[in-house]
Structure 1
Amino acid sequence: MDDRSTEGKTALVTGASKGLGRAIAIRLAELGARVAVNYNSSQDAAAEVVAAIEGMGGEAFSVRADVSKVDEVKAMVVEVEETYGPAGILVNNAGIISDQLLMRMSDEAWHRVIDINLHGTFYCTRAVLRNMVRSRWGRIINIGSVVGERGNPGQTNYTASKAAMIGFTKALSKEVATRSITVNIINPGYVETETTAVLTDQQRDHWLSVIPQGHFGDADDIAHMVAFLAQERAKYITGQVICVDGGMAV
């Protein structure tokens, strides 16, 4: 049975128009949170997530912001606060990949991945943190990746961003621990999303061979862990790297 301690709380989920973000937004709404569905360019997809949440009796609205732009993040957080009140739950899910071997990687590919994945996490967290400290309660849940611990050829930019998020999570968890604010990072493995849909059969076979469970996960596997960490029953879990990866990181 779910702990309904998230009932009526405001949750901001970045990159929530599709994939993991969509599943996370819907799951938090199922627990009674009022969800701000962030998107950058996928307005129609974000509207579909809102419609899905409202269709099951929940509350949600969509809000556009490029999380790599500090002014847009500030404006988004103001809109969230004006609509539902301060965010008590933040899920830093927005992220991109731009894969290439390092010797061929462009400056743009490096900076864009770092800007969205890492700087976006910083901007969004900083923007909501003061109100969490004032209310003496908060849940910050970062979505990393198993490659942040394992590394992956062709993904030095992505791996660097996700590894940095681990350090960010651990340091911040110590800064805010006495305010009943928990900060954790979930490292998904290979999950059936738009990203893995473009893998070739050879690539899929390779990754399946290194997953002890022998299959990819699905978005709900991640969403359920986010939902658990957002609840009051997870109040003594902070600064943790939680792998949801079928055993890849073992």
Structure 2
Amino acid sequence: MLIFGGSGVIGRSIARTFGLEGWKVGLHYHRHQSLAEETATLIQASGGQACLFQADIQESRQTRIVLQNFHKAIGSLNVLIWAVGISISTLTIKTSQDEWHRVLNTNLTGAFHALQAAFQIFSPQHGGSIILLGSFSGEQGMSGQAAYAASKAGLIGLMQTAAREWGEFHVRVNTIFPGWHPSPLSAPAIHIGLQQSPHVLPHPPSLGHVAQTVYHLATTPGVSGQVWNLDSRIW
């Protein structure tokens, strides 16, 4: 399996879960090489195999090369996880053109590049699974999160369209909302109170539960075009 965003908090948990299940894990990173290396070390320490791939996913050529190199190195690719995400906490009226494009180009256009490249591998082998990590804000919107919410809403449309188009090739595409977890990405939410939105359960899913759900969905046949919300908040 290959995970884009393998240097992140959620990406690390997912990568370790696949590693523990005996999968050969490819870890993509952009700037945070040391964090990706730490994740690879954790996987290898538990008996798994991991390799690193650096790329700027805003560039379609770099993204395509990552998938091609992983496929050549491992010999197969069956699961692609998209766990990339950046956010800027700015009111809509104050969001600059540069901020808007940076978030959309990373979160949405980057995913588009990855899906296109993955399909080139999955279609000839008549099978593959893609999981996109989304966000509840993509359905409900969030104050101060215009670019982020728009990018995550776009992921849902991209996922469902790809699922419709690629079903005949036995390529499954789904989205998971992992819920709120402390990380550099979610840190700005502390200042606007997003993490305090009411849960109907006393404890939200842990990172381990999120990773297990991603693993089971990625390896479950017959499911595609779906959004899985790992949360207990009711809005």
TM-score (normalizing by structure 1): 0.88
CA contact under 8 A between 1:192 and 1:218: conserved in structure 2? no
**SS of structure 1 residue aligned to 2:57:** coil
**Pairing 1:94–2:84 present:** yes
Task: Determine what percentage of the aligned residue pairs are the same residue.
Answer: 29
Range with bigger deviation, 185-194 or 98-107: 185-194
User: How far is 1:95 from its partner?
Assistant: 1.0
Partner residue of 2:125 out of 135, 155, 166: 135
Structure 2 Cα separation of the partners of residues 18 and 169 of structure 1: 22
**SS of structure 2 residue aligned to 1:195:** coil
**In structure 2, what is the equivalent of residue 212 of structure 1?**
200
User: How far is 1:92 from its partner?
Assistant: 0.9
Structure 2 Cα separation of the partners of residues 150 and 143 of structure 1: 16
Partner residue of 1:229 out of 195, 217, 222: 217
CA contact under 8 A between 1:39 and 1:63: conserved in structure 2? yes
User: How far is 1:211 from its partner?
Assistant: 1.9
**In structure 2, what is the equivalent of residue 176 of structure 1?**
166
Partner residue of 2:229 out of 232, 237, 243: 243
The answer for unaligned runs of 5 or more in structure 1 is: 1-10
- Letter matched to residue 45 of structure 1: L
Structure 2 Cα separation of the partners of residues 143 and 86 of structure 1: 22
CA contact under 8 A between 2:100 and 2:147: conserved in structure 1? yes
**Pairing 1:122–2:112 present:** yes
State how many pairs are aligned.
235
- Letter matched to residue 233 of structure 2: M
CA contact under 8 A between 2:86 and 2:185: conserved in structure 1? no
Cα offsets for 1:130-159 (capped at 9, x unmatched): 221111110000000011111101111100
Do the aligned partners of residues 248 and 75 (structure 1) sit closer, same or farther apart at CA in structure 2, a change above 3 Å counting? Answer: same
Structure 1 Cα separation of the partners of residues 126 and 54 of structure 2: 28
User: How far is 1:31 from its partner?
Assistant: 1.6
Structure 2 Cα separation of the partners of residues 178 and 200 of structure 1: 43
**SS of structure 2 residue aligned to 1:141:** strand
Structure 2 Cα separation of the partners of residues 101 and 215 of structure 1: 30
User: How far is 1:191 from its partner?
Assistant: 1.8
- Letter matched to residue 77 of structure 1: L
Structure 2 Cα separation of the partners of residues 214 and 151 of structure 1: 24
> Superposition pairs for residues 1-250 of structure 1, below 5 Å?
11-197=1-187, 199-200=189-190, 203=193, 207-231=195-219, 234-245=220-231, 247-249=232-234
Structure 2 Cα separation of the partners of residues 195 and 169 of structure 1: 22
- Letter matched to residue 248 of structure 1: R
Do the aligned partners of residues 128 and 202 (structure 1) sit closer, same or farther apart at CA in structure 2, a change above 3 Å counting? Answer: closer
Structure 2 Cα separation of the partners of residues 196 and 216 of structure 1: 15
**In structure 2, what is the equivalent of residue 5 of structure 1?**
none
**SS of structure 2 residue aligned to 1:170:** helix
**SS of structure 2 residue aligned to 1:145:** coil
TM-score (normalizing by structure 2): 0.93
The answer for unaligned runs of 5 or more in structure 2 is: none
CA contact under 8 A between 1:190 and 1:217: conserved in structure 2? no
The two structures, once aligned, show a CA RMSD in angstroms of 1.8
CA contact under 8 A between 1:97 and 1:158: conserved in structure 2? yes
User: How far is 1:171 from its partner?
Assistant: 1.1
**SS of structure 2 residue aligned to 1:68:** coil
